[in-house]
A and B are shown apart, each in its own frame.
Chain A
Amino acid sequence: MRTLRARLTPYALIFPGGLWLAIFFVVPTLVMLSLSLQSGNVVDGFAFTWNWHSYVDGITTYHDQIIRSLLYGLAATVIQILIGFPVAYWIAFKGGSNKSVYLFLVLLPFLVSFVLRTISWQFLLSDNGILLGPLRDAGLLPQDFRVLATPYAVIGGLSYNFLPFMILPMYVALERIDPRLLEAAQDLYASRMQTFLRVVLPLSLPGVFAGVLMTFVPATSDYVNSSVLGGTNTTMIGNVIQNQFLVNQDYPVASALSFTLMALLLIGIFVYARALGTEDVLEVAAR
């Protein structure tokens, strides 16, 4: 009796939370898949008809936005690695007893609402705002110079908003590196560059991997940055999905597009994991 009870304990523990995830995460994904294959409209109702046209229509109409999202997401991710790695490295190796303070400073933006932070940048970068106005008046910038409504503003906003998600996992990986490994490499006459490239960098890759996972997905699927900082020619697939779902109420096309986005992100992660040669992606990412 006791053994049966012991065997059932974990199931009792996971039951309520597992059920919640099943009903409100797994089932909705399937409902959305079904919706993407339905035809009809919001007035007359929808019916399941294996209607693949929503995919064809959605992808042909919005392929520019899909490609743009992937490019912006990729650009933001690369920028974040370049900006974030040295910071993570310095905190991990030189932070001393103040490591937690530096990390805390890096995480400060998370204490302010994501939307509010983005609006703050809109305000800072506005055409006659506190940055561009004086520079233009002083003749340092051409009269028609602007940052808002350009791809640079959107990619910059994406890089800013998700940077802490990149720095944190890279820091965790770098911090775990045993300093004796660096000493050993130097004792074996490796130059500083060789030590960095052949000891530090490989050992930090799991952190970089986790960071990319945590930043590429939200950056690619974002619509806040491109709405607030971008213009009509920086529309991303997230904007289209949001608009189709909540304004046009063309549910089949909207579902087809978000399913396509999900598939692209999954494929991207898979290809990336294979290219990196990570043995157990789940294992690394779950850590």
Chain B
Amino acid sequence: MSRGLFRGRGLQIYTWLVIAWLVVPIAVMILFGFNDTKGRFNTTFQGFTLKWYGQLFEIDALTQALVNSLLIAVLTMVIAGVLGSLIGLALGRYRFRGAALLTLVMFAAISCAEIVMGASLHSLFITLGMPEGFPTIVIAHVMFSISFVAVTVRARVMTLDTSLEEAARDLGASTWDTFRLVTLPMIFPGVLAGSMLAFALSIDDFVITNFTAGGTTTFPLWIWGVTRVGIPPQVNIMGTLIFAAGLLIAVGNIIAARRRRA
């Protein structure tokens, strides 16, 4: 007997239609990276070409923006990955005074409107007279990523069996060795997932970056800046390559998970 209340293919067709709707803009983005456009506006398809792939890095400001985005995302991944994992470990493993307050602050950070966080940070930086740029973007990205990493790691920690760590200690392992050789390998999938989430959140962020960037440009900020003048095909290609990289990682994950189950 099949699960569920409704028979027939109606819902299945509907689901595929919604998925198609979700994918349409991506397909358009990929397609127009191959467009042999003549003018400034990449709006009508004028024939297939690979020439833009050859000229991918010809717009210096765009290339710099992409490099900035990648650097910021890597720094955010590392810093928020470590700080968030430590919080996740503490919340998942220990009961302590202040845990509820910390959870509340994290929940507020996750559900707070991005524009409010961006505006608040901007207020702080102008009040302190702190010039905005690359460092302030990293500060902001780490701030909004920490809670997501912590929640991901906490979920992993809570499923773990503490008896393994007790066994390690009974066998004479020091606290540090127990952490390094037993705890860390067990929570590592959570740490990895959380850090990757931080990378993804950082590289895509527009709103908070808009408020904390000063004169520095990231990939989304550069695109935003040229919206009115027209998007060059190089943007489509960079978007396509980021999409392809994400796709490869995700598909690799799904296949690995299936193998483990099998």
Contact = CB atoms under 8 A, between A and B. Distances in A.
B2 A245 contact: no
B61 interface: no
A20 interface: yes
B116 A221 contact: yes
A193 to B, nearest CB: 8
The dominant DSSP class at the B interface is helix
A24 interface: yes
The size class of the interface chain B forms with chain A is 35 or more
Interface in A122-172: 122-124, 126, 129-130, 160, 163-164
A107 B143 CA distance: 24
Interface residues of A, number: 92
B15 A117 contact: no
A87 B94 CA distance: 38
Contacts of B94: 9-10, 13
A113 B11 contact: no
A122 B41 CA distance: 13
Interface stretch (B48-56, B101-109, B184-192): B101-109
Nearest to B250: A104
Given A13-B90, A24-B143, A100-B254, A112 B113 contact: no
Interface of B: 2-6, 11-12, 14-15, 18-19, 21-26, 28-29, 32, 43-45, 82-84, 86-87, 89-91, 93-94, 96, 98-99, 102-109, 111-117, 119-124, 126-127, 139-140, 142-143, 146-147, 150-151, 200, 203-204, 206-207, 210-211, 219-220, 223-224, 227, 231, 235, 239, 242-243, 246-247, 250, 254, 257
7 contacts: A9-B94, A17-B146, A20-B142, A113-B203, A160-B21, A182-B4, A217-B111
Interface of A: 7, 9-11, 13-14, 16-18, 20-22, 24-29, 31-32, 35, 83-84, 86-87, 89-91, 93-94, 100-102, 104-106, 108-117, 119-124, 126, 129-130, 160, 163-164, 179, 182, 192, 195-196, 200, 213-214, 217-218, 220-224, 227-228, 238, 241-242, 245-246, 251, 254-255, 258-259, 261-262, 265, 269, 282, 285-286
Given A94-B2, A164-B22, 15 more contacts: A11-B96, A21-B106, A83-B18, A86-B15, A93-B3, A113-B223, A116-B29, A120-B26, A182-B3, A182-B5, A251-B126, A258-B116, A258-B119, A258-B120, A261-B116
